[in-house]
Structure 1
Amino acid sequence: MKPQSMLFTIYGEYVRHYGGEIWVGSLTRLIGEFGLSEQAVRVAISRMVRQGWLVSRKIGNRSYYSLTERGKKRLNEAAQRIYKQHPNAWNGKWCIISYNIPETKRALRDQLRKELAWMGFGMLANSTWISPNDLADRVKEITESYEVNDYVEIFTSEHLGWSSPKQLVEKCWNLDEINAAYQEFIKQFQTHYENLKQKIENKEAISDSDCFVAKTQLVHEYRKFLFIDPSLPEELLPDFWMGREADELFRKYYDLLNPGAVRFFLQVFETAPDKE
């Protein structure tokens, strides 16, 4: 597991619920549970500061790191998708993004593509992306922040032909590949869940540190679906969709691990002395 990716998981799953700021020593201790060195963690933290995800402040000889507004927004969005409830019924409309960003702004164009993919848009044609979810306001925020408004058009519209809605989905997303990834997730964690459930039923001792490691790994792996699963409405999913089974497994295993994981985190967690 890469240190920077693990830091996102630690902040998203734990730190943001407890004031959003943490002493660097606590971070290195927590991530050290996964065999990552203090040096590797500090390098990753510095990179996240440069990228605008974290901000630091020093009190005495101690450094504390908190999420920037950009970081908070990204992790809040991620949490809404990871812990999604039953989605609303689809209204039949598509959010469509079309852009013509010049080569002189290639870096911004590439970044916009990454943002659209992360939000769950699929590429219908070159420079044209679609989503069945109402994401127009979020796209407006992103295009304004990148100052590419003059090159981007945003639509909400109905599709009149000729593909069926599910055929349109198949053109924009590789559902077989996503299904296979969900199957692999289930294969990876089903036995761990069943073993833990059996231990609890047998009243066997389970350490809080083990719960922390297992839960963090679970969330860390499940987070990866944010980058490949477009969160399609139920009406557009294939009949055979492993995402439903994977989501149920994630929730059940998470609920078993969470109490011990949080206890361990709070044992290690230190924030700045003037923060409650």
Structure 2
Amino acid sequence: MQNSLNTRSMIFTLYGDYIRHYGSEIWIGSLIRLLEEFGHNEQAVRAAISRMNKQGWIAARKQGNKSYYFLTERGKKRMDEAAKRIFNAQQEPWNGEWMMFTYTIPEEKRSIRDELRKELVWSGFGLLANSFWISPHAYSEQIQSMIDKYEIKDYVHSFTAVYNGPNENEKLVSECWDLNDINEKYNEFIVTYSQKYVIHKNKIEKGEMTDGECFVERTKLVHEYRKFLFIDPGLPKELLHAEWLGDHAASLFSDYYRALAGPASRFFESIYSDGNDLKKDSEFDALNHPLIQENRS
């Protein structure tokens, strides 16, 4: 089961960083071949893709004797949201308002309540009190999507407010998120990947890394950095302390990603084209990813 979960997580990474830019669809044979680079076998891939299908992230179609799996609208939306956060698009200055979301969901709908908590954490909400969540971002669209998805309109309330004390906004932050713990994880990322970046950048410049090796390293990089989606709420700069390492980690990720992007994309395309029509999105260039460029500006 653990291996299946790991395989599923890697498939999410491949869809998010590669497949969604090639029509959001892939032949299962190509997917199996790509996952072999990370030690995942065919059985694990098929089990993971089946689970994602049942969960509504992807759907299947048959063409002759080949099975293809493509992102559903729900899957595309999640990938787009994740990409914007992973590639650290610049935030607008905070207007000082908090979005608040509270619910009272009946016990017979407990499973929905558990799923809702996971969605709120992923979206960057913090739990201030029992069933009372806050975010400094205006996530009205995300909230409405959750309300519609779980059919909980009768059990929830959402509104915006300005915190009037008696403490500072930082007090709210400290009660909802452990920024010191998140900062320590960013530090671990920086220590590990700054060393890898220097080594691999030199190897790439000398022609000592294959396209396949770059593909593996780029995918591992995105896979590791993607974990911050589940712990970092993406607070505006106004709510972060001076020692915050998130920006340093984002800059390192951006530079490392660009160093690996070209060769990694070539390898992906060489495997992908074996069983798929190579329909790359015309506006996408991994070497000059628009969100990475925005982050670097």
TM-score range, shorter chain: over 0.9
4+ residue runs of structure 1 moved beyond 3 angstroms? Answer: 270-276
Give how far 1:275 is off. 7.3
Q: Deviations over 1:28-78 (max 9, x none)?
A: 000110011111111101111111111011111110000111111111100
Tell me what 1:174 maps to: 178
Cα distance in 1 for partners of 2:276, 2:218 equals 26
Structure 1 residue runs of 5 or longer lacking an equivalent are none
Seq. identity, %? 53
User: Cα RMSD between the aligned structures?
Assistant: 1.5
Q: 1:163 aligns with which of 150, 153, 167?
A: 167
Tell me the SS of whatever aligns to 2:84: helix
Distance (whole Å) between structure 2 residues aligned to residue 187 and residue 254 of structure 1: 16
Q: 247, 256, 269: which is aligned to 1:266? A: 269
Aligned partner of 1:22 in structure 2 is 26
2:264 maps to a residue whose letter is A
Provide the residue aligned with 2:244 in structure 1. Answer: 241
SS of the residue 2:194 aligns to: helix
2:207 aligns with 204
Amino acid at match of 1:264: F
Give 1:274 shift.
Answer: 11
Code of the aligned partner of 1:79: A
CA deviations over 1:125-181 (Å, ceiling 9, x no partner): 000000001102210111111100100000011111122011211111000110111
Alignment: residue pair count: 275
Deviation at 1:200, TM superposition (A): 3.9
> Runs of 5+ in structure 2 lacking a partner?
281-297
Matches within 5 A, 1:89-108: 89-108=93-112
Distance in 2 (CA, whole Å) between partners of 1:272 and 1:266 is 10
Letter in 2 for 1:228: I
**Residues 190 and 249, structure 2, Cα contact 8 Å, conserved in 1:** yes
For normalisation by structure 2, the TM-score amounts to 0.90
1:58 maps to what in 2?
Answer: 62
CA drift of 1:106 comes to 0.4
Corresponding residue of 1:224: 227
Tell whether the 8 Å contact from 1:59 to 1:272 is kept in structure 2 after alignment: no
Shift of 1:85: 2.3
The DSSP-based 3-state class of the residue aligned with 1:94 is strand
1:154–1:212 CA distance, 2 compared to 1 (3 A): same
Distance, in Å, in 1 between the alignment partners of 2:183 and 2:88 is 18
Q: 2:128 aligned with 1:120, yes or no?
A: no
Stretch of structure 1 that moved more, 25-34 or 182-191: 182-191
- 1:3 maps to which residue? 7
Relative to 1, partners in 2 of residues 1:183 and 1:159: Cα closer, same or farther, differing over 3 Å? Answer: same
SS at match of 2:23: coil
